[in-house]
Amino acid sequence: MSLIKVENLIKNYINDEVVTEVLRGVSFEINKGEFVAIMGPSGSGKSTLMHILGFLDRPTAGRFLFEGQEVAGFDDDKLAELRNKKVGFVFQSFNLLPKTTVLENVALPLIYSGMPAGERLKKAEAAIKAVGLFHRQGHFSNQLSGGEQQRVAIARALVNFPEVIFADEPTGNLDSKSGMQVMEILEKLNNEGHTIILVTHEQDTAEHARRILHLKDGEMVRDWQVENRRLAKDGLRK
């Protein structure tokens, strides 16, 4: 069974009776443990697609199944539960609380779970170790470099052990070295079994994935496996 399956997915926005077609009949499946990049130029619909897959938005038409269940039948409470337990998000702008420690930022998604404080901190520490920032866990997030802040964001996305980690342009605000380090962490997490869905407009970034879905004008124009996967640790091709 596929983890994610979409069939003829359509998303329209209506403003003053003007209909804007953003997604036009997109279909694909993603299995557990895949590393998939969704790429395309600005306006291609890739971020809208990620928001639907991450339960942040609903499609206008078409089918979206998650773990074999039809998402259209879920109410807002169920979607909020899925966002909290099943997915983690990494955004281009980091979205960290500035005058809050790394440990507190990473533990934040666990506050609403009812988990005891001691257990929350243990899980947060484990996630911080996974991204190589344990020595910085007591620092405020605004004391970190951009690359370190993005690694904290990855740890926060990881802390709930989600089924899927969504990364929306995660290297967009980083220099090339920091961006490479972030992609290396995502590759490592994928090699450990995590499903990663990356949204990017950059071919070099997309080639860290194992599969690329290419959108253009809201349609899927190509779906292919990456044969020469870029190695993040040295920037060379196999």
The SS3 of residue 35 is strand
**Rounded mean pLDDT of the chain?**
90
Does the structure show a pLDDT above 70 at 9? Answer: yes
Does the structure show a pLDDT above 70 at 233? Answer: no
The H or E element that residue 151 is part of is helix 146-158
* Beta-bridge partner residues of 66: 4, 69
Whole-number CA gyration radius for the chain: 18
Per-residue model confidence (pLDDT) at position 71: 96
Global pTM? 0.89
Q: Is the distance from CB of 13 to CB of 45 less than 8 angstroms?
A: no
The H or E element that residue 25 is part of is strand 18-30
Interval 63-119: pLDDT, tens = 999 999 999 999 999 999 899 889 999 988 888 998 899 999 999 888 877 788 889
Q: Is the distance from CB of 141 to CB of 98 less than 8 angstroms?
A: yes
Interval 211-229: pLDDT, tens = 999 999 999 999 999 876 6
Interval 127-181: pLDDT, tens = 999 999 999 999 999 999 999 999 999 999 999 889 999 999 999 888 899 999 9
Interval 173-201: pLDDT, tens = 888 999 999 999 999 999 999 999 999 98
Which pLDDT band, with edges at 50, 70 and 90, does 238 fall under?
very low
Per-residue model confidence (pLDDT) at position 173: 86
